[in-house]
Structure 1
Amino acid sequence: MSASMEAVRRLMDLRHRGRAEDLPQVLAEAAPLLDAEAVTVLLVDYGQEALHPLRGTVLDTATTLAVEDTLAGRAFTTARHQWNDDGMLWLPLLHGAERLGVLEFRVKAPPPLPVQHDLEVIAALVAELIASRRFYGDAVEHTRRRMPMQLAAEIIWNQLPPLTFAVDGTMVTAVLEPCYEVGGDAFDYAANGDVLHVALFDTVGHGISASALTTLTLNTYRNARRSGLSLLDTCRSIDKWIRAQYPGAFVTALVAELDIATGAYRRISAGHPAELFLRDGRALPMLPTPNALPLGLGHMLRRVPQVIEVQLEPGDALVLYTDGITEARDASGTLFGVEQLSEFMLRTLGAGIPAPETMRRLIQTIVSYEQGELRDDATAAMLQWRRH
């Protein structure tokens, strides 16, 4: 058995026993098998600002590294390996398309290509182990949290899917702030056959009451989707349950379906801002919005909501967002606005920045625009379609 395969075997043993916090010790023992002096897991925090050693790491052999202006951060943002002259190699930790952090190797010399391929396999396996073992303990959460998380935010984050997902060239990627206090915004998606379901919700209110309403909304949406209901009947179901459980409350929403094979996009906007529609470096006219009342208020209008349909072209992007993005204000009170959002997205995507990194930079820009203190939850999701 080769040394690298022995390292794989030791890591694979964690599938059936052990916790995420056991990874550092196993990697320390496996490092000599990989011709490395040390191997360290660095996970990105909730704010996606820095990479932190996984809990259980011996801290005198590892350090926190900023995402901005470091090679480790570049490995994270580009999802490509980075190397420096001091014998440090960083490989991205990817669970599917979801960016978890980086795997840091301290080596004596740049590894030859076959060895580098082995290290990439190790990084992929470590990412899988983190994703599968994270629910059996709190080591990953302790690592990613840089301040106490409010209960409302705890409830919401436990409801959400991973920030990024890709299938057959199509990608959906999202961001959510303030990550430690959010309570009213949420997103969801699911790929079933050739259909990618995507939804964005903005609940009235803040705190625990908003997170409870958001939880009902998310789970009613999933129940309707899994029951095979149409977009129209899905919105009707959510509307009914909100009205029954929280009379007078409401949720604005974009509920959409994308046919991954053909690019046919269908959606209902329930009192929600229209998504940006980007194609070939320009913004196309926005889709009609709203075409339904906010969910929970549907009984006030007898007209049946219209399902808006549009045919996407390969490379098209749709950016869904809550008003916390466009209504962010700078020190002078000037709104960030739809035009500035559109300019940011076109400029960043036009520079070849990957979609997940574009969204990370967007939310950092919004937080900076409001001097670090968001007045409202700010959530956005981007859907990119490519023909498979």
Structure 2
Amino acid sequence: MPAAPAWMRWLPAFYIAGILVIEPITPVQWPVSFLLVALPVIAAFAHGPAAVGAFTVFAIVFEGVLAGTPCCAGRPVSYVWDRHYVTAYLCTALVGVLGTLLAAHRVRRERTLATVRFVAEIAQRVLLSPVPHRIGPIQVETLYLSADAEARIGGDLYEAVPTTYGLRLVIGDVRGKGLPAVETAATLLGAFREAAHDEPDLATVVRRVETSMNRRAARLAGSDMAERFVTAIIAEIPRRHVVRVVNCGHPPPLLIRSDGVTELETADPAPPLNLGMLLTEAYHVDEYPFRPGDQLLLYTDGVTEARESAGAFYPLPERVLSWGPLPPRELLDRLHHDLLVYTDNRLNDDTAALAVYHLPD
């Protein structure tokens, strides 16, 4: 369970110190020690039930001490048992009971949230298992940013699978959020991991994934989960210097070279996965040169649809071009930092990216 910020833990002490400073200089009959009634609630924001109970006892005793000090605020006599002070003691005790209950409730909620976050992190690790960082001459790095810092899990996905047919890659973005999106992502990744090893042809890999998505949709017909579709790029880098790409309604990859940055637009894009019934022909496979020193950047629309305060979209190709050639880890770290600066730390969508670098011979 995460600890409260230091300033919040010290807030009760600051509050007491403020009362001690104000009390002797307040020229009124009833001292500001009555403000100690609020101390248990202030403590409840950062401390547990036992600590709030201790602060309550302290507040009542301290109220009595201040009331029994004749010098305070020019009072000539003690007012320890004056009815106004007795009322203050009772009010402090009542507020202390409420503050203790509030602290107990807060602690339970924080423990529940910590458990949920832990489960979400485990689910995310299972869903997006670590990719191999080096496959022959190919180096791979990944980036995942959640728009909701508390959620830690979303519908963006990626995978890199070494096979006998070469390295096969997928990056995708599920329509929607929450557990239905996670379930859809898990279905796609499971199908891709199997088909990537079994099918020699990239278009057939995509068709296998689409078939699995359709079966899931049929099983869940009528539910919101059945209507989830996924924009995706499925690619492969075989044993020669090319990269093959099937684009299913997804933002185009960037091919980064020492002399420039190119968006790999497809001439015949396919519909998103789980909408394959709209496709009447075979999936179109584009092929591009991928030579030593080249780098491929796959990303989700959380990157290109990130906005600055004025509403302008993030100019990914221009940004990458301005950085010059960078190793894949440095490229993704720079992208991460630049996105946060560009959006003033306000990402509106989950973001995933996959950098694939062909090491020089």
- TM-score tier (shorter): 0.5 to 0.7
Q: Is the 8 A contact 2:299 2:354 kept in 1?
A: yes
- Residue 368 (structure 1) aligned with residue 346 (structure 2): no
Distance 1:147 1:378 in 2: 24
Alignment of 1:219-368 (within 5 A): 219-246=190-217, 247-259=226-238, 261-284=239-262, 286-288=264-266, 291-336=269-314, 340-350=315-325, 353-368=326-341
CA drift of 1:387 comes to 5.2
- The corresponding residue for 1:208 is 179
CA drift of 1:225 comes to 1.3
- The corresponding residue for 2:128 is 160
Q: Is the 8 A contact 1:287 1:308 kept in 2?
A: no
Query: Any unmatched runs of 5+ in structure 2?
Result: 1-113, 218-225
CA drift of 1:218 comes to 0.4
CA drift of 1:177 comes to 0.5
Point out the structure with max Rg over C-alpha.
2
- Residue 170 (structure 1) aligned with residue 123 (structure 2): no
Q: 1:229 and 1:215, CA in 2 relative to 1: closer, same or farther beyond 3 A?
A: farther
For structure 1, which segment, 300-309 or 211-220, has the greater mean C-alpha deviation from structure 2 after superposition?
Answer: 300-309
Q: 1:235 and 1:169, CA in 2 relative to 1: closer, same or farther beyond 3 A?
A: closer
Greater share of helix: 2
| Count of aligned residue pairs for this structure pair | 237
Distance 1:203 1:191 in 2: 24
Distance 2:200 2:121 in 1: 29
- The corresponding residue for 1:384 is 357
Counterpart AA for 2:205: T
Counterpart AA for 2:192: Y
Q: 1:166 and 1:349, CA in 2 relative to 1: closer, same or farther beyond 3 A?
A: farther
Counterpart AA for 2:262: L
Distance 2:242 2:355 in 1: 16
The CA deviation string for residues 49-78 of structure 1, in whole angstroms up to 9 with x for no partner, is xxxxxxxxxxxxxxxxxxxxxxxxxxxxxx
Counterpart AA for 1:273: P
Greater share of strand: 1
Q: 1:192 and 1:359, CA in 2 relative to 1: closer, same or farther beyond 3 A?
A: same
Q: 1:368 and 1:330, CA in 2 relative to 1: closer, same or farther beyond 3 A?
A: same
Distance 1:150 1:289 in 2: 43
CA drift of 1:368 comes to 2.9
Query: Any unmatched runs of 5+ in structure 1?
Result: 1-145
Q: Is the 8 A contact 1:172 1:384 kept in 2?
A: yes
Q: 1:301 and 1:194, CA in 2 relative to 1: closer, same or farther beyond 3 A?
A: closer
Distance 1:289 1:270 in 2: 12
Q: Is the 8 A contact 1:349 1:355 kept in 2?
A: no
Alignment of 1:48-197 (within 5 A): 149=117, 154-162=122-130, 165-178=133-146, 180-193=151-164, 195-197=166-168
Q: Is the 8 A contact 1:252 1:294 kept in 2?
A: yes
- The corresponding residue for 1:139 is none
The CA deviation string for residues 71-129 of structure 1, in whole angstroms up to 9 with x for no partner, is xxxxxxxxxxxxxxxxxxxxxxxxxxxxxxxxxxxxxxxxxxxxxxxxxxxxxxxxxxx
CA drift of 1:346 comes to 2.8
TM-score (norm 1): 0.56
Distance 1:354 1:334 in 2: 28
SS at match of 1:149: helix
SS at match of 1:372: coil
CA drift of 1:197 comes to 1.1
Q: Is the 8 A contact 2:297 2:355 kept in 1?
A: yes
The CA deviation string for residues 123-174 of structure 1, in whole angstroms up to 9 with x for no partner, is xxxxxxxxxxxxxxxxxxxxxxx99737555423322232561233321111
Q: 1:251 and 1:205, CA in 2 relative to 1: closer, same or farther beyond 3 A?
A: same
Counterpart AA for 2:340: V
Q: 1:239 and 1:315, CA in 2 relative to 1: closer, same or farther beyond 3 A?
A: same
Counterpart AA for 2:234: V
Q: Is the 8 A contact 2:234 2:246 kept in 1?
A: yes
The CA deviation string for residues 304-362 of structure 1, in whole angstroms up to 9 with x for no partner, is 221111122221111111110000011121111xxx21232233343xx4321220221
Distance 2:285 2:138 in 1: 22
